[in-house]
Structure 1
Amino acid sequence: MLSYGQFCPLAQSTQLLCERWTLLIVRELIAGSTRFSELEKGLPQISPTMLSRRLKTLEHAGVITVNKEKAHTTYRLTQAGNELRPVVELLGAWGHRWARSDLSGGDLDAGLLMWDMRRSVNPEIFDGREIVVQFLYPDAPRGAQAWWLVSRDGDTDLCLSDPGFDVDLVVQSSLKAMTRVWICEDTFNDAVRAGSITVQGDPELAGRLQDWLGASPLSRLGASGKAPELSWQAPDQA
């Protein structure tokens, strides 16, 4: 970890947190990931070696704890790590307003999109009944064109192969169209009306999809229009 050579608290925190991938790892832990494999799903382009290195740095800094159990190892935020939540939320909201992706091909990833969507599904929208929704992305790379979200018993599973259940709804769109919905640049219902997303299945169930899927929590913060509040102010200049 490179040092700025400054005692300033901002310098000390940024030299720890602003290394590549570090804050995104914290984002994933805040979102509920606790296992190495879950972190990889939320960070599909990170190498296992880099992920291990960053986790060790965060553990050494007291940002996370590592619990090694017989079956697996879990990673959890400490008090110091949990105090980063408003930092991550502010940066995410700022990014939504001022540094958005142009959604070119390099920023689109079907696996990351579906993994993120799975975490925000609200199973209560369908009154607790089992719902299977298939998503088709014809422009995604081979092997990432078909996905299934299975919502049952208050939980939601993401499948890349056919889970064998009857499908209630089939949603088809380009990756860009669904990503625009996810990051609050469009609404699901507006995209359906415009024809960029098509839905096949029970119309009554289809009408609830927008509320069931939700949207990116960080993008929602940015779309809310609330400016971040600053508690530190520089002294007035004479």
Structure 2
Amino acid sequence: MPNAGYKQFCPVAMAAEILCTRWTVLVIRELIAGSTRFNDLRRGVPKMSRTLLAQRLRELEEQGIVARRAIPGDRIHSEYRLTDAGRDLLPVVEAFGRWGQKWVESRISLRNLDPSLLMWDMRRNIDPAPLPPRRAVVQFRYPELPPAQRDFWMVVEPSGEVDLCSDDPGFEVDLMVTTDLRTMTAIWMGLTTVRAERARIAFDGDGAIAARMQTWLGLSPFATAERAAS
């Protein structure tokens, strides 16, 4: 961590020296969300450079917040897991999220649209229970985006495992959802609902899956948090 510091014995100041460097809380957020591999962590912080991510992980390891472990049978890659000290940060990260959901004005939040990050977060929080007890494939299309960012496929296996593909996985698509990125992001954040935005969403495919979209859709963990009055 930087050597300058706050030069205060206050526990708030000491914790801030560790946690308040750029990207650090977001890296911890990704670890809390269950990412353990370097490339998976990167998918949750796509605008963070590989070099800086590696640096932050080293710093968190030095502070005893993260432990790096070898992966059995893999001589190249490691996995990163929170220590007891790191897991104790769960309520801190949750408080950050609840505060942001309550007090940060939604129009400001929705300036920061990122299709890859949105779909990665949706994939982590999807609920397979309302989907058919077989492989279900849902394709999301954002027509206003460049071709390389326009289509995503969510593949939900009967086991509950969910895979996100940015290239066509070759399976039959059960439902195609076409909408704009801002609308989908607002739904994911809990700022609106599928029903309220129905005029902005086109469905093509299984009507039963479409009708239950709000129940299986992976929303933000903070989607139900209280929002301050405007």
- Matched with 2:224 is 220
The residue type equivalent to 2:168 in the other structure is: D
User: 1:103: Cα distance to partner?
Assistant: 5.5
Higher mean C-alpha deviation, range 9-18 or range 125-134: 125-134
- Mapped pair 1:154 → 2:156: no
Higher mean C-alpha deviation, range 58-67 or range 70-79: 70-79
User: 1:104: Cα distance to partner?
Assistant: 7.3
Q: Deviations over 1:26-76 (max 9, x none)?
A: 000011100000011000000001000100010000001001234221000
- Matched with 1:188 is 194
- Matched with 2:169 is 163
The residue type equivalent to 2:8 in the other structure is: Q
- Matched with 2:10 is 8
Superposed, 1:38-187 pairs within 5 Å as: 38-69=40-71, 70-71=73-74, 72-102=77-107, 107-152=112-157, 153-187=159-193
Among the aligned pairs, what percent are the same residue? 45
For normalisation by structure 1, the TM-score amounts to 0.89
Counterpart contact for 1:92–1:222, Cα < 8 Å: no
- Matched with 1:228 is none
For normalisation by structure 2, the TM-score amounts to 0.92
User: 1:127: Cα distance to partner?
Assistant: 4.5
- Mapped pair 1:198 → 2:202: yes
Question: Which residue among 5, 28, 38 is the counterpart of 1:26?
Answer: 28
Counterpart contact for 1:101–1:107, Cα < 8 Å: no
Q: Distance in 1 between matches of 2:64 and 2:156?
A: 36
- Matched with 1:211 is 215
Structure 2: runs of 5+ lacking an equivalent = none
User: 1:22: Cα distance to partner?
Assistant: 0.2
Higher mean C-alpha deviation, range 62-71 or range 165-174: 62-71
Q: Rate the CA distance shift 1:103–1:16 in 2: closer, same or farther, 3 A.
A: same
Structure 1: runs of 5+ lacking an equivalent = 226-238
